[in-house]
């Protein structure tokens, strides 16, 4: 399962995959169910939505997850 989605579940923000796909990711209802995980662009949308809801620390955590992904990708490429 995707780290961002797991975070939203732990915090109690993700009522379902369909809700999370639409409300937080801004994608189609079956986006999470497709199994590819939350992309970086969808992750940014999650952070934006959390910030709009004044869930600042969770938005920051999502951004940290995205930066961690980027750092791992850069290390693999090197």
Measured in Å, how far apart are the chain's first and last C-alpha atoms? 27
Confidence of residue 1 (pLDDT cuts 50, 70, 90): low
Q: Which residues contact 4 (CB under 8 A, 6 or more apart)?
A: 38, 43, 46, 62, 65, 66
Tell me the backbone φ, ψ of residue 42, rounded to 5 degrees. Answer: -70, -35
Mean pLDDT of 49-67: 97
Long-range contacts of 19-26 (CB under 8 A, 24+ apart): 23/49, 24/49, 24/50
Residue with more model confidence, 43 or 36? 43
Prediction pTM value: 0.87
At 3-40, the pLDDT tens digits run: 999 999 999 999 999 999 999 999 999 999 998 889 99
Percent of the residues in the chain that have a pLDDT greater than 70, as a whole number: 91
Q: SS3 breakdown of the chain: % helix, strand, coil, rounded to 5?
A: 70, 0, 30
């Amino acid at each position: 399962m995707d780290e961002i989605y797991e975070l939203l579940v732990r915090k109690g923000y993700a009522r379902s995959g369909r809700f999370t796909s639409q409300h937080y990711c801004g994608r189609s209802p079956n986006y999470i169910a497709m199994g590819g995980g939350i992309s970086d662009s969808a992750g940014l949308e999650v952070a934006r939505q959390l910030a709009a809801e004044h869930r600042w620390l969770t938005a920051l955590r999502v951004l940290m997850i995205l930066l961690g992904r980027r750092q791992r990708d850069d290390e693999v490429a090197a």
